Amino acid sequence: MTVKPLGCVVSVSGVRGIVGETLDVDQIVALGAAYGLAIADRGPVVVGRDSRPTGELFVQAVATGLRGVGCEVIDIGLVPTPTVPITIGELGAAGGIQVSASHNPVQWNALKFFAGTGRNIDQAQLDRLLSQYQQAPRWVGWQQVGRARAYGEALRVHIARVLAAVDRERIRRRAFHVVIDSVNGAGSVIAPDLLTQLGCRVTTLYTRPDLPFPRDPEPNAANVTETGAVVRPVGADIGFVQDPDADRLAIIAPDGGYIGEEYTLVLAAAAVFA
């Protein structure tokens, strides 16, 4: 197997590129094999994806590489990126990979790598992975090929973790009206479900993962004016806007104004320490 040099974006945040131009299926197979050897050490690997049209293809490709070097592949389907590390911990997996190019346009896709700790791989681990990528994969014999299985409880486990971390009854008493815009991405299922379980009245906007993406998916002020225009007329208390893999959250004020994502953590911390 001849390894193609990576001409795409490579960092600890992932390997990402334009599908068919700077990143192709052969490279995804080889990256899966390299990860399985250099990071997972042939252990079980959790794999998730966002809603991009190339997502299932890339899951199949990375699973081929992983299984070919002996890793069990645990496919958790369409999930937010944070669901992958949560599932790693839940199942005691050796690591995980999310197939998502985050806020990049639909023609992009990527692999985001997680260690067995549930954290993103660090630079030293990335260097090991890239070094292994440059070598021919050490494929196992037919008896050692990794099995593949689906795990359908990942979103339920993720929601349960969130509910355990907040004052659920206090939130339910407030009965917030929330507009949630998931840009038809990975948050389309989990976000409305979570908000409903928190007793919120939910107005959904772009929660069709079969139709990605209705606009530039970067959740900045210029791209979410439509969401802001919905929040005030429906009388919502707040609006939330996710990016395609639902690991970022921008906030819309009741008057429709854009608060942004830079303040999300600050506001959450202020509430905790108030």
37-95 tens-digit pLDDT: 999 999 999 999 999 999 999 999 999 999 999 999 999 999 999 999 999 999 999 99
Which pLDDT belongs to residue 261? 84
**pLDDT, tens only, 146-174:** 999 999 999 999 999 999 999 999 999 99
Q: Are 9-156 and 166-273 equal in CATH topology?
A: yes
Buried b (16+ CB within 10 A) or exposed e, 28-50: bbbbbbbbbbbbbebbbbbbbbb
Q: Which residues are catalytic?
A: 102
The CA-based angle 120-124-125, given to 5 degrees, is: 50
Report the pLDDT averaged over residues 89-103.
Answer: 98
**Cα 216 from Cα 174, distance rounded (Å):** 33
**Taking Cα atoms as reference points, which of 59, 145, 120, 123 lies closest to residue 247?**
120
**Cα 213 from Cα 150, distance rounded (Å):** 26
Q: Does domain 166-273 have CATH number 3.40.120.10?
A: yes
pLDDT band at 181 (very low <50, low <70, confident <90, very high): very high
Domain segments of the chain as ranges: 9-156, 166-273
Q: What share of the chain is helix, strand, coil (3-state, %, to 5)?
A: 35, 20, 40
Q: What CATH superfamily classification does 9-156 receive?
A: Alpha-D-Glucose-1,6-Bisphosphate, subunit A, domain 3 (3.40.120.10)
